[in-house]
Amino acid sequence: MKAMHALLAASLTVMAMVPVAEAQVPRSLVSRLMPGLDQRVVLVAGTPLSDGTRYLPQNDLTAWFPGKAGTGILMVGHELRAGAEGGVGGAFSRLEVRRTRGKDGLDFVVTGGQRWAQGMHNNCAGGVTPWGTVLSGEEYPIRALPETDWAAIGKPPYAANSPILAYGWIQEIDPGANEPSARLKTRKAMGRFSHEAAAVADLRTVYMTEDDADGHLYRFTAKRPRDLSEGRLEALDVRGRRWITLADPGNASWEATRKGATLFQRLEDVQIGPDRAVWFAETGMPEKGDPYGRVHRLDPRTLELRTVVAGDGRRLANPDNLAFDRKGRLYICEDQNQENYDSYGDNQILRWNQQDGSLTEVLAIGGAAEPSGPSFLGEDDSLVFTVMAGRASQLVHVWGAPLL
């Protein structure tokens, strides 16, 4: 992290970019906002960055790395298919940020930006490691690339030279890497499946979710601390209260199902809670008789699984991204399926009260867009998140007393 802080200071002196606060930005897609909160659109898709590229659409994961003297780095993933945007594909932006105290609190101003890594596929959620890198999950179910000749590829288990093994991995991105070749590492020991998120519990243990029908919850234990290149991959069996060891990372989902791992319907985000338990969202699938989804809590010692909040379409439908603030309160982002959206309206970010089980709307997003990638900023408990809306995608900053 010390090396990253030095790089932050250097990059802020050599990169120039007109602060977005001084530029004209489109109207926010936030349709409702809790009283007492303020908001500002920080970036929109198509905004020029200081390296000559543009801020890509479909922003998803955010990862905040505070620096010194009110500076920091925000890493942003872009959920784009392989080859999209003129060959860019799934990618990450690295944004240099200055935080200065204004009349309404700490501003969040982008002072420079780069396209940091690219050539991936459907970078969804992920996680931050204690050693200062970002883990990004490539969501790659069988249907992800419809133009592929799946009949020629066949069914799993796939051979080591199968083209399906090109994507569907955890990618580790280093925001402090000086050389472009050192910024991106594919972590194949962590398994190939339709990755969504990753939560790092300690220097060796990572929990991962699979965003697909009949997917699984996985645990990876690295052979060495801070090194994800080798280790043991396992899938959860809830009924048996056990972790099932997987021998073939390239066919992880297929092997997990064959060995009896528990099936879930589209797992989304996973977070390590303040209680050190594993919290994860199962968004549900109407085709499987599960239209609303739920949020689970897994005790990592006993492997007891408990549903802490269930979707019902009235209070909550199709939970996706999760975040805990410094007080340990859980925030839940919705990504409703079309039927639920038509019935219940805009996707929300909700705050769950652990004491009474109530859910309070923090904000809602209009136009069938999806709130995603929430990150709390430690200095003032304000929130930065992305809005996935194609070419209208936005990066938004929200602050105010209700978040304190």
The more confidently predicted of residues 174 and 379 is: 174
Amino acid at 30: V
- Edge-first strand order for the sheet with 370-377 is 37-44, 394-400, 382-388, 370-377
- Contact partners, residue 201, CB within 8 Å, separation at least 6: 207, 272, 276, 278, 300
pLDDT at 220: 99
Whether this model's pTM surpasses 0.85: yes
pLDDT at 395: 98
pLDDT at 146: 60
| Sign of torsion over alpha carbons 39, 360, 201, 209 | negative
pLDDT at 144: 66
pLDDT at 143: 64
Q: What is the mean pLDDT of the chain?
A: 91
pLDDT at 154: 85
Amino acid at 197: A
Confidence band, pLDDT 50/70/90 cuts, at residue 7? very low
For the chain, which domains are there? 2-53+153-165+186-403 (2.120.10)
213 has a pLDDT exceeding 50: yes
HSE at residue 256, side-chain half, CA atoms within 13 A, is 28
Q: pLDDT, tens digit, for every residue of 56-89? A: 999 999 999 999 988 999 999 999 999 999 999 9
User: Average pLDDT for residues 1-18, to the nearest whole number?
Assistant: 36
Q: pLDDT, tens digit, for every residue of 300-349? A: 999 999 999 999 999 999 999 999 999 999 999 999 999 999 999 999 99
105 has a pLDDT exceeding 90: no
Confidence band, pLDDT 50/70/90 cuts, at residue 52? very high
Assess contact for 201 and 300: CB atoms under 8 A: yes
Confidence band, pLDDT 50/70/90 cuts, at residue 145? low
How far is Cα of residue 340 from the mean position of the Cα atoms in its chain? 22
